[in-house]
Amino acid sequence: MNEKSLYERLGGYDGIDGFASNLLPRLQADPQLGRFWQNRGADGLAREKQLLIDYLCASAGGPMYYTGRDMKTSHKGMKISASDWTIFLGHAGATMDALGITAQERGEIAAFVSSLKADIVEA
């Protein structure tokens, strides 16, 4: 049994910052998902990225207090579909490949992300 938190095993704050920095451009450049980030200002994008990093750090057992909104509130009304979700999972997998995240951590990340699906997918 590994006693280190997922946060520590992912490389702490810098590891999770690297994860978000790799994933977000993939989502924003995707032909189907790009619409969610169209016409957003640079400051809004930077703020949202920081909230994602804080949320992931806090959820993985890091010493952060997440000050953003919960997943249901922050995605409500975007009409994120099951098809959008499948594409999102593909990009998350590509990010994990790119960062060399190993099987144990991949499994924990996949289980965590799956637990959010019902709050995020609505159409």
Q: Which residues bind ligand HEM (CB under 6 A)?
A: 33, 36-37, 48, 51-52, 55, 68-69, 74-75, 80, 84-85, 88, 113, 116, 120
Separation of alpha carbons 75 and 121, rounded Å:
8
> Could you tell me the two tokens for 32?
């189907």
Please state the closest distance from residue 88 (CB atom) to ligand HEM, in A. Answer: 4
Cβ closer to ligand HEM: 69 or 97? 69
Tell me if 9 sits within 8 A of 103, measured CB to CB.
no
> CB nearest ligand HEM: which residue?
68
| Nearest residue to 14 via CA among 99, 71, 91 | 99
Cβ-based neighbour number of residue 63 at 10 Å: 10
**Residue 122 Cβ vs ligand HEM, minimum distance, rounded to whole Å:** 11
Residue placing its CB nearer to ligand HEM in the complex, 1 or 38: 38
CA nearest to 9, candidates 76, 60, 47, 64 = 60
CB of 4 vs ligand HEM, minimal distance in Å = 20
What is the smallest separation between the CB atom of 99 and ligand HEM, expressed in angstroms? 15
